[in-house]
Structures are given as C-alpha cells and as structure tokens.
Structure 1
Amino acid sequence: MLSELEPVWQALNAGTVHDPFRGLGWRIEEGDHWALYEWLPTATAVEVGGKRLAMVAPGVWRARFTADERKTLLPHHTVRWQEGDEMWHSVVSPWTFPTLLGALDCYLIGIGEHWRWWEKLGAHCVEIDGVAGVHFAVWAPNAERVSVVGDFNQWHGLRHPMRVLGSSGIWSLFIPGLTVGDRYRFEIRTRSGAIVTKSDPSGQWFELRPQNGSKVWRSRYTWGDEAWLAARNAWDPYHEPIAIYEVHAGSWMRHADGRFYSYRELAERLIPYVQSLGFTHIELLPLAEHPLDESWGYQVTGFYAPTSRYGTPDDLKAFVDAAHQAGIGVILDWTPAHFPKDEWALARFDGTALFEHEDPRLGEHPDWGSLIFNYGRHEVRNFLIANALFWLVEYHFDALRVDAVASMLYLDYSRRPGEWLPNHYGGRENLEAIEFLRRLNTLIHAEVPGALVFAEESTAWPMVSRPVWMGGLGFSFKWNMGWMHDTFTYFAHDPLFRRYHQDKLTFSQWYAYSENFVLPLSHDEVVHGKGSLVAKMPGDADAKRAQVRLLLAWQWWHPGKKLLFMGGEFAQWREWSERRELDWGLLAEAGHRGVQRWVADLNATYRALGALHDFDCDAEGFEWVDCHDAEQSVIAFLRKGRKGEVVLAVLHFTPLTRTNYRVGVPFGGLWRERLNSDSRFYGGSDVGNCGAVRAEAVPWHGFPYSVALTLPPFGALLLQPVGREEEG
C-alpha cells in the first residue's frame, strides 16, 4: 500500500501533484482496519478522533482505525493540528469530499458549450453532506500543479493542492469552513517549474484596489423587477424609442471629498436624474473589475466580477433593480476584444498562452498594449459567451454594448504589412472571431429573451445587425460611426463655409437603413484633446450652446436610436476626465440649464410621437423635403409613424435669422411649432413662429402645400400638423 502512495506523497512535497486524493484520505488495510492519511506540511502534531497521527513522509500523517472507529468519523472528519508551540487548530479535512463538477460539465466545457460556466468554475459557497465550505474550480490545462492559497492557509502553496479532472484541464477542490469574504488566489506551478499566483478568472468578487486578489462571494439579493422583465420580453425595440444616457460610474458625480458614489448611492441620484431627462436607458462604461481608477474600465482583469470600487455585487444588482422599477433599462459595456498583460490575471495563465494566441501577430493588440483572445479555442469561446450570459442572467442587464468589434473582425486591424497572419483562405478576415460573434448573438437572443446586443463597429462590414440566418453577425444594433464623424466634420466648419459641406449631413440617408443604427455622441468624442461637444462649435458662448442644441436636434430627429454621453446634456465646457466629476456648477447658469431642458424635451417628444421612433430602422419613416439648400445651410425632412403621423423637421446651420422661408408640406391647415431650439426656455433668442403657422395651397418642394417660416439662428424647428387639410 505504501509503495502505491509514496509517488503521490513525493509529488505533494515537490509541488507537482495532479491528484492528491490518490494518496490521502481513507485506505483499507488488512482485516477490518483502515488507515487515514492527512496532508499538513507545516504541522508538528496531528490528531483525528482523539488519536494521534504519525508522520510517514514529510507532511503526510497517518493513523490506523478499526472499522467501528472509522464509522464514527464518517462521512467527514475533523483534524486537529499544531504548528510549533502554537495553539491547536481545527478544521474538517478536505480529502474526503467529491468534486462538484460532473463528467457532463467537463465535456461541455471541453467542447465550448457550457453556458452556465460561472455556476461551476470559480469559488462557490456550498454544503456537502451538511458541511459548509467553498468549492473551487479553475481551468488550467497546462499546469503542473494548482493550489488554492489564502489567509486560511497563510498563502502556503503546498497546503491545498487541487486535483485535475481527467483530461479536461479543470482543477477542483472543496475546502470546508471557508465562507463569503475569504480572500484567495490560485498558485500555479508551470511546466517549466515557475510558480505564479493568479486571481480567479471566474471570480465574482475582488479585493478593493490596489489589491487584486479574489474574494469568495454568495449573492443574497432578492429581485423586484419581474414586471419589467416580463414587459421587456414582449418589447419590440426596433419600433420603440431608445434614448441612452452613457455614464462612467466613477466620474458622473462624487462626494465632496472626492470619494466615489457606491452603486446604491448612484441608484438614489443617477436614476431620478435620468428619469427627469426622459432617457429610456443608462449605458455604463465597463464595470467588470479592472486595476486602475484612472481608467475607463476597458482593461478588464475580472470578467465575472463587478468592480469593488462602488460596492458589492449585490449593490450592483440593487442599482439595476432600482432602474428597472423606475422604468429604465440598463446596458453594460462589455470587452471581449482584448485583455491586459497583468501577470496576476489572465495573461499566460498556466504558464502558456492559454486565453490568448502564442504568436504576437495574432495575440497582441498594437494599439492598446493588450492581448487578444484566442476565439478558436473551445474553452476560451465558452468563457466569453458564458460571461456575456452571466451579466444578462445574474445581473439582469438589458443589453451589452460590445466594444471594439472592428478590431475583432480584421486580422490586420491597426497592423502594418508583415505584422499579421492571413486566414487559411489568405484573407484578412478573422474567421474564428466572426464565428464567435455569431454564436454569441444567437445564444443571447435564445437564452435571454428581450436582451439586446449593440456593436461598436467602425468599418463598412456588411450586415452587422442582421440575423445570423441571413448571413449577418446577429447584433441587435450597430453604432453609426459614419454619421457621427460626418456630423462633427460638418459642425467644425465656420458657418460661412458650411454651404460647401452639406453632403456631410445628407450622405447618411444613403445607408441609414442598411443596419439597425444607434446614433452615438459617446465618451470617445469628448476626450484626448477632442474637446467637449460645446467646445467643438465655432462662435461665442451663446452661439456654441445654440449649435449644441442644433446638433442634438439633428441627432434626435434623424432616424436611428440615440446615445449621449454624460455632460453633453448640459453642454459641459471641459472635455471629460475620469479623474473628476462632471461640472455640475454650470447648471447655475441659465444657458446650460437651457440645454438640459432641451434634452429633456427632445426625449419627451421622441417618446411621445410615433413619427420620431416608429421607423428608426426603416426608410418608410423618412422623406426629404429639401436637402439641396446648401447656399442657406438649411435642411428639411418629414418623419412618419405607423399610424400615419407626420412631423416636419427644419434645421438651420448659420447664425442668421431667415424670414419667410418657404418649406413644402403634405397637408394644409395649422402646423404647430412643437419644438423650437431657439426658445428662451432653452437659452435662445426667442425667434420663432408664434407657436404655429398655417399651410397655404402654394405648391413647393413637390408638395401641394407650403409654410412660410421664420428660421432662428442656429435653429431647429419641429412642426406637427393640427388637423389635416388634404388636396382634393
């Protein structure tokens, strides 16, 4: 018997053991006697059931028990041990407990189809045979040995070695007595003999920065958003209003001493604010754990853990729940395109390029100094798809915004010739990433009814937001980066010269319905010297704010869903910095309060009028009235709803007041001035049309009627017919 066990004991001492259970626990001996073997490498004395154990190999302790004595210690026994002259310690031995991963779990992970990865891997508080503790599991197929280390074993790498489950590469161990809040990591001995200590890739709670270890977590949260989820499942997002307020949780608002608001404090302040402005959704920049406060959250080191900067995982659930009960959806930025090189996280996790590619031409991101996931590996693909489902299922997020999709689609993204490898057809398309995205979107829509997936994709890749069965990537929506870039290019011109660039406004209609678009004015456009929205505009302060109101009208009345980054809603002067809160003091000034009121009224009108949202993704809802008046920098168009509603939008991009400006309309009668960006209420000069104009039977722009308008400087008008007088 001893000869069979000795190789295991030698491996325990060498730190190379693959299955410590083969040499520990109960072993039957001659007759009715049993031997119990315990592994306590730092002990000087050990006893079980009042019987002293003898050391039979370094760190291995043994005692013989009769069958009757053994029965009194089943199913699991307590070990008492002493280290030096210290007091005696007492724990339940871990060497008699089974793994909680079955053969089916290992098989599904191996083929990349275990969609509840987070329920099996990581650290989980459980009871086995009435004994409470934590079950640990981690995927590290090329490790020579994996141990759980923490305060409970003085971070000693030999104390709690895990066992590998067959050829799955998954290591597991149940440690009795551990509970919520216990700190832990995985100590890994690589095939080269190096020792690395890693945080848990599937860990659901992390130490507060600057520490980066994992912590045991068990949710106790009770949800109250059943009505919201039921309504969401039956919702038609393509024909309903979506207006998104994009937020960086750490810099929206802070305490007077600079401390972050917690998730629950944000719920108390941010949600009522978003309600007051009429946004339908909040989009949060990445909340998955990341190392630095001075970041936007895109360098993720804990993909399954909400950052501890703002509280516990249940605090984040409380935020999402409060938003839902207030009628607001919540979108999470998600970052499957890359991960940082921090040595304690995913990079070369088991001593090899496990999550990333080995070849830097495939595995390193030249722009961000980060690593690229190996989408062709089953387990990596499983890790990421399950992670997306985790945020939607466990935290009830309504949507994911997938960051940097373009960088995933192209093998030569941001690379010079010779710095990338073509696919097996010789092309530049990343076929494995394409298949990953299609599988991701298919599963999300199947597993989480009503959930949406937004793509930040900046190229002309076709059918990003078309179903997989049509040959698309399967996203729900795509950010319209072309609209955003052209719009900013246009507004950057001096108004005197905008007449030469009107195509920057009108070109978007050539492709506006090729995808399901979101029109983004995002965080990326107000950082790194780009200037805030208001700072981008030419002219004095009043002219700049007027043009921000005009820009927002163009965004809200143009087909497509809406997204505005925080601070833009009140025309913050300074560009955004993650190091400080927004400049809320600006709201003491009437001009900035006016912009904020304008956003609220844009949202209220967008949500109230089907003509402004019914056909956001369909050409049926848009008709040019006049896109050719470049000389006077004016455009006019109709938006139409499913019930026949029509509104007229007229936008004027110069600082002049234009009187008796005639615009064709389809109906006679009174046209009410529903919105006027130049109203004094919004900080304007109050140039307008006294609330309404009457259409005359004067054909214009191909329509049987027309209205003669006064166009305010840098003004946007939205007119709605009051009754209809139709020709004939």
Structure 2
Amino acid sequence: MSKKTLVELDPWLAPHEPVIKAREAYVSSTLRRVLDGKSPADFALGFHHFGLHQTAAGWTFREWAPNATRLVLVGDFSDWQEREEFALQPSRHGEWSVDLPGSALHHGQKYKLRVYWPNGDGWRLPSYATYVIQDDDSVDFSAVVWQPNEPYQWQHDIPPAPNVPLIYEAHVGMSSEEEKVANFNEFTANVLPRIKQAGYNTIQLMAIAEHPYYGSFGYHVSNFFAVSSRFGTLDDFKRLVDAAHGLGLRVIIDIVHAHAAKNEVEGLGNFAGDPTQYFKAHDHPAWDSRLFDYGKPAVLHFLASNCRWWLDEYHVDGFRFDGVTSMLYHDHGLGKSFTSYDDYFTDDVDKDALVYLRLANDVIHAVRPDATTIAEEMSGLPGLAAPTEYGGLGFDYRLAMGAPDLWIKTLKEKRDEDWDLGELAHTLSSHRPEEKVITYAESHDQALVGDKTLIFRLIDKAMYWHMDKADPDLTVERGIALHKLIRLLTAGLHGGGYLNFMGNEFGHPEWIDFPRQGNNWSFKHARRQWSLRDNGFLKYQWLGEFDASLMKLIKTVDDPSIHYLTIHQHDHVVSFMRGDLLFIINFSPDQSQTDYALPAAAGSYRLVLNSDDERFGGHGRVQQDQRYFTTPGPHGDNVQAYLPARSGLILRRVD
C-alpha cells in the first residue's frame, strides 16, 4: 500500500480533516521535543539508567524522585537500618543515585527505599524494581537483588509473526486443575503443549506484571518492571517464553499503561510525597486507580522504557494494551455509544495520550519490527490501528469488542429462528478501512463472575447433569451445535486474527471467580478443569476437537477480502468465501436443506470441516471427504450442498 493520509484511506473523515491535521501536528511536535534528537528505541532505555545495576566497580542505583529530600537504600545488607553509605545523593532533574562496592550487595537480598519529603517519609519500592516478593506472613513487599551467577541462556529462536494470529488468552495462576495459584513452570510443562495441540499460534498472557491483589486479574499493577513473583522467578518466566518459542508459539503479554494501583508502599501511588509525580490529580472514577499523566516527559520515558524492557529482557513478541479507550478520552469513554464520526473529534480526546500511544508503537516496532501490538479499544477511534506513516497511532490490530456483545445480546433477546444473520455478519466482518482487528466470540471478560460464558448461556444447569456422551439431551445438543456455529462464523469472518480464552474452546463450565472474602477465599472457580476435555466420556471433548480442527483451517485465511457473501435470512443460511475456503452455515433450528445452491468461485471443492461430524458431537448426516462441483447459474457459478439444520461446512476449492 502506498503512503496515504487517513482521509484518503477513509473519505468519510474529510469533514474532520482540520482536526486530524491539528492533532497530527501536536503529536509530531511533542514527540520531537520529548525525544530531543534521540531515536524512539534509544529514548526507551530508562531501565539501563534507573534502578539497581551491577558494574565493573560494584553497584549503582538510581531513582527519580523530584519531591524527595532524602533517599536511603535499606535491606538485608544493612540489617534494615538506615546507614549513611547507602544514602542516595541528589543530582539534576530530580535524580538520586548511589555507588556501592561489589561486596555491598548479593543476589537474593531484599531491599527497599526509605524516602523523605517535606513533612513526611515512608517505605517505598524502587520504581524500576525487577523482582518483588511478598514477605512471609505479611502484606509487605520487598524488592530483591536479582543478579544470578549464571544468567539465563536462551535456547530457541523467535518464531516469525503469523499472517493470522490465533490468540490463546491465558492466565498462568488459574491454569492448574488444582485449587491453587499455578506457577510458570507448571504452565510451561502442562499448558503450552495443550495450546500447541489446539492449533493456536500466539499466547496472550494476562497478569504478568506484579500486582498486589491476585483478584484484580493483573489490572492494578504496582511494579511495572517486575514479573509477578506469585508465579515464579524471572528465569522461570524466561523459560516459559523460550519453551513457547521452541513450540513455534509467539508470546504477547497484557500491558497496563492506562492506570496503576493506588498502593503507595509497594506501588507508585505517592512515591515521594507528591501524588502527581507520575499521575494526574484525579483517580479513575470507575476503577479506583491512579491515571498516568502523559503530558510529562518523565512519564513517557518510564512507560516507553517499560515497553522495551519486556521485549529486551523477556523476548516477548508484543503486547495487548489494556484500557486504551480510557486513555484516549478525558471522560474515559464511560457511558458513550460512539455512533457518529463527530464523537471522535471533540476536545474530550486526550492529545497527550495520543502522543504516548504513538510513541509506544514507534518504540516497540523500532526494537522489534515483527512485534505485535493490539489495542483493547471499544470506541473505534479512526487511525488507531493505522500505520504511523499514514498518520495513525501504529497499532497492528484492534480488538473487535462489539462482537461478543452482539452474541450475548442475540442469545439473551432473540429466539433461535429470529437471529439477524445480516447484523451478525456485518458486525463480525466490519472494521475501518485502515485497520485490522482481532475478532472473538468471548474472552475472559465474558467468563468473569457476574457474567456468563457462551456455553453457560446456551446450556445453563443442564451442564451439571447431561454432559456425558451417552446421555442424550436436547438442551445440550442445541447448545453444542450453536457453540460450534458461533465460533465458525466468528473465526471465518475475522478481520485479521482470532482470539479465545483458555478453556472456552471446549466449553469450560461455570465462571471465573478469584479468591475473595465474598467466596471465603476459594480457588474453586479460579482454575481450569482440563480433565473434562481429556477423559473421553464427556461432550467437552467434542467441542475441543472441533475448535482444534477449525483453527487449522482459520490460520490459512489470510486474504482480507470476503467474497460471495450471501445471507438468506428466510432459510437461516449464510455463506462466504475466504481465499479458497467456502464457509456455509445453516442456523435453522429444524430445517435441513437439500441441494441448496450457493454462489462460489468456479471449480471443484472438497469438504474439509463439518460441524455435524460425529467426532464433534454431530449426527454424521454429511458424507465425509465429499467432492462438490460448481455449475453455471443465471447470476454466476453455484455449489449445491446438503445442509443439515444447525450445522456448518467448510469446503476447500481444490481445482
């Protein structure tokens, strides 16, 4: 694609061209001023300067605390007493530093900062701490000196970026069948092979950065450069990423730069007596968290460096940026519907957030040109996922957050025979002309307590009594059939990639509920019951087998165009072509179709996936490995097929 402006890519933006140009001028001029001649990649090396570092002469520690009057390193090495040789000295721009001899610190020692400011003082953890652990029998956290004698040696090359990311969204802690917090090593040994076998090519790991409250799902981060120690050590996480790469799996992580935990002792909430050192004066009205001030160059430096840290140190392959809508708008997009282009070009858009998001993508793609960045963004801001050279913010993909909402609305409000196939197909396939999107039927959001997974909406309490393969049940049969068709249509119409949350591919029962006071601190619903899919006697196996077969085909659907889209609302049939694959779905609850003619590219086709296959819990009404041949019709070539009720076929054109 030759270089074009956003308005050339989307002519509907023409009335707003003056605002678009003004914003671009602000972003570009601000970045020039902030970078001050440095490249984005070099600008994002704050972790080489700040924090604790071993040098040829010993150790150096640096911290940014412009409101502080005194800082002292305190830890095991000083018997937790303030000693003058560990006091930091101030320099310009609010920086503090101390040089120590090599014998002063050792790997594994705990430490903190004692910070003083006008009329106050307190314990703090360094802002660039790379390993933070919770003290035994205490709510306190300490930083840990991490300088092992033998640094981790990477074993595997990084896999190339797939044309179609098939993303397996996962949470390490809840990945065990046992009622506990699982660790990195268990995930590496037990879950990575499952993801590979299930046909996905990218893992999206949630809750990797340190967060004090486990039940926050990792969204209230306290230590942005630290791997969560509840899952293991730094090397344990490196081993996970390395093993994934060895299996050909890419690893992206959730990165939370929209807000931060309010915690002060172990977080950044009030680092040196100034709550606005990193943050705006007000908190997020819905999340009870602090909001980063993207107008401060030091904050841009901190966050951009955090992006590069995970790429350099842990070889991750990209990021899913959480809460981007909240970042983009001063009112955080709360209560807005965004039904008009006018909604995107008001003063409510935070121009400093635009600066940071452009900078973050510039940094990430400069350091790793093959990295993947995904915006969790529900407003659909034009240009969000357009290349920066076109005037976009540079995300590779946006999450198609309207898709799961529409599926939920359809299941809640419409009878099966009243599903609006046109609305479904339009929503699942639509995106702005300049962007690619990750499409999904449900993510962790739909599985959290207070909501319902799709399988639970479809089957409900019958799940507890009728999931044995030998137990026929009409409610379960309907649910399993529609669960497959929902995924078939969603994945088939993807706008760039597809996502699934851990366990949902086989219809994992019930909800996600982390240990909390309200459930008596139970882990019962904060785990994954893999045995339901594995034991061979339950219907969950059917769903898992179908999803794996579907993923093997979807990874080949890299043609952005959708051809021969046909919607026969009266017959409940939808069909379309992606590349050489012809998708045909009959959503009718009770009407099968014989010799049903549908438009297709001329040629010969072979059946490659049939949701009615007995292997997937179907009735086996379609002959496997069947051949289909197009015939001329008055409006073009057609394929004729037998379409059982509530079933879907994928045919591959072979010649």
TM-score, normalised by the number of residues in structure 2: 0.83
2:409 maps to which residue? 489
The aligned runs of 1:55-94 (5 Å cut-off) are: none
**Are residue 596 (structure 1) and residue 547 (structure 2) matched?**
no
1:445 maps to which residue? 365
2:204 maps to which residue? 283
Distance in 2 separating the partners of 1:409 and 1:672:
47
Tell me the alpha carbon deviations over residues 481-525 of structure 1, each in whole angstroms, 9 at most, x when there is no partner: 123322332344444442456423334444364421111331111
- AA in 2 matched with 1:266: F
Distance in 2 separating the partners of 1:436 and 1:696:
53
**Are residue 217 (structure 1) and residue 146 (structure 2) matched?**
yes
Distance in 2 separating the partners of 1:404 and 1:286:
14
| CA radius of gyration, larger in | 1
1:528 Cα deviation (Å)?
3.1
Distance in 1 separating the partners of 2:458 and 2:383:
34
TM-score, normalised by the number of residues in structure 1: 0.75
| Residue 476 (structure 2) aligned to one of 521, 525, 541 | 541
Secondary structure of the residue aligned to 1:483 is helix
- AA in 1 matched with 2:405: H
- AA in 2 matched with 1:206: V
The aligned runs of 1:552-701 (5 Å cut-off) are: 552-559=487-494, 560-578=496-514, 579=523, 580-587=526-533, 588=535, 589-607=537-555, 609=556, 612=557, 614-615=558-559, 618=560, 621-627=561-567, 629-640=568-579, 646-667=580-601, 670-695=604-629, 697-699=631-633
**C-alpha contact 1:206 1:215 (8 A) present in aligned 2:** yes
- AA in 2 matched with 1:565: F
2:319 maps to which residue? 400
- RMSD between aligned alpha carbons? 2.6
Secondary structure of the residue aligned to 1:213 is strand
Q: 482-491 or 335-344, which moves further after superposition?
A: 482-491
- AA in 2 matched with 1:543: R
> Structure 2 vs 1, CA of residues 468 and 625 (structure 1 numbering), >3 Å: closer, same or farther?
closer
Q: 160-169 or 668-677, which moves further after superposition?
A: 160-169
Distance in 1 separating the partners of 2:365 and 2:435:
18
**Are residue 153 (structure 1) and residue 87 (structure 2) matched?**
no
- AA in 2 matched with 1:143: A
**C-alpha contact 1:502 1:630 (8 A) present in aligned 2:** yes
**Are residue 269 (structure 1) and residue 190 (structure 2) matched?**
yes
Distance in 1 separating the partners of 2:331 and 2:166:
34
> Structure 2 vs 1, CA of residues 508 and 594 (structure 1 numbering), >3 Å: closer, same or farther?
closer
The aligned runs of 1:338-349 (5 Å cut-off) are: 338-344=259-265, 345-349=267-271
**Are residue 253 (structure 1) and residue 176 (structure 2) matched?**
yes
Secondary structure of the residue aligned to 1:382 is helix
Tell me the alpha carbon deviations over residues 360-402 of structure 1, each in whole angstroms, 9 at most, x when there is no partner: 1xxx111110000111111111000000110011100001110
**C-alpha contact 1:289 1:307 (8 A) present in aligned 2:** yes
> Structure 2 vs 1, CA of residues 241 and 223 (structure 1 numbering), >3 Å: closer, same or farther?
farther
Tell me the alpha carbon deviations over residues 393-418 of structure 1, each in whole angstroms, 9 at most, x when there is no partner: 1100001110000000000125699x
1:28 maps to which residue? none
Tell me the alpha carbon deviations over residues 182-238 of structure 1, each in whole angstroms, 9 at most, x when there is no partner: 11111111122x111101110011113643111111254344355x33x53xx5x5x
2:469 maps to which residue? none
Secondary structure of the residue aligned to 1:206 is strand
| Residue 294 (structure 1) aligned to one of 204, 207, 215 | 215
Distance in 2 separating the partners of 1:174 and 1:493:
66
2:125 maps to which residue? 199
2:431 maps to which residue? 511
| Residue 480 (structure 1) aligned to one of 382, 385, 400 | 400
**C-alpha contact 2:596 2:643 (8 A) present in aligned 1:** no
> Structure 2 vs 1, CA of residues 696 and 497 (structure 1 numbering), >3 Å: closer, same or farther?
closer
1:322 maps to which residue? 243
Secondary structure of the residue aligned to 2:141 is coil
Q: Which has the higher helix share?
A: 2
1:181 maps to which residue? 108
The count of aligned residue pairs is: 577
- AA in 2 matched with 1:453: T
1:175 Cα deviation (Å)?
3.2
**C-alpha contact 2:577 2:600 (8 A) present in aligned 1:** no
Distance in 1 separating the partners of 2:586 and 2:140:
54
**Are residue 706 (structure 1) and residue 636 (structure 2) matched?**
no
Distance in 2 separating the partners of 1:692 and 1:493:
37
Structure with the greater relative contact order (CA < 8 A, sep ≥ 6): 1 or 2? 2
Secondary structure of the residue aligned to 1:535 is helix
Q: 320-329 or 711-720, which moves further after superposition?
A: 711-720
Tell me the alpha carbon deviations over residues 78-122 of structure 1, each in whole angstroms, 9 at most, x when there is no partner: xxxxxxxxxxxxxxxxxxxxxxxxxxxx9999x996422112211
| Residue 530 (structure 1) aligned to one of 421, 437, 451 | 451
> Structure 2 vs 1, CA of residues 659 and 497 (structure 1 numbering), >3 Å: closer, same or farther?
closer
Tell me the alpha carbon deviations over residues 225-282 of structure 1, each in whole angstroms, 9 at most, x when there is no partner: 55x33x53xx5x5xx121111101100115x4x3433312211111111111111011
**Are residue 139 (structure 1) and residue 64 (structure 2) matched?**
yes
- AA in 2 matched with 1:575: W
1:93 maps to which residue? none
1:370 maps to which residue? 289
**C-alpha contact 1:477 1:518 (8 A) present in aligned 2:** yes
Secondary structure of the residue aligned to 2:251 is strand
